[in-house]
Amino acid sequence: MRMRRDDGARRAPGELEAQVLAVLWKADGPLAPAEVRERLGADLAYTTVVTILSRLHEKGVAEREKLGRSFRYRAVDDEPGLAARRMTKVLDAEPDRDSVLARFVSSLSESDEHVLRELLRQNEG
């Protein structure tokens, strides 16, 4: 059964994972599931939060460390790092990576192209 918000509407796919990730990004260090649940401020079952954290760990988006009998979680990357990981996964799944990159670059705005050129220059040195 899918979870419903207080207003009766269903959550969009991945919405709860995104909210949990946002909590992990804002944290100064690793958090226990109870701390994540508290910071979400939502009426969620503890087991729901543990399930979401476990899924994020399985996806490689969060890492966990054992503390006593439970785990504490932290985000592996910040938001831009996570987006970069997604982009890399898409490229890795394509048989003609060069063509995909060429199409991507040709569709960039002038300002994005300028940023990309500058980043490439910085990485050459």
The C-alpha atoms of residue 100 and residue 10 are separated, in whole angstroms, by: 35
The pLDDT value recorded for residue 5 is: 52
- Could you give the percent of the chain with pLDDT greater than 90? 82
Give the mean model confidence (pLDDT) for residues 12-18: 89
Q: What is the mean pLDDT of the chain?
A: 91
Residue burial 53-90, b: 16+ Cβ < 10 Å; e: rest: beebeeeebbebeeeeeebbbebbeeeeeeeeeeeeee
- Among left, alpha and beta (phi > 0; psi -120 to 50; other), residue 77 is beta
pLDDT (tens digit per residue) in 62-100: 999 999 999 999 999 999 999 999 899 999 999 999 999
Instruction: Give the Cα separation of 30 and 35 in Å (integer).
Output: 10
Percent residues over pLDDT 70 in the chain: 93
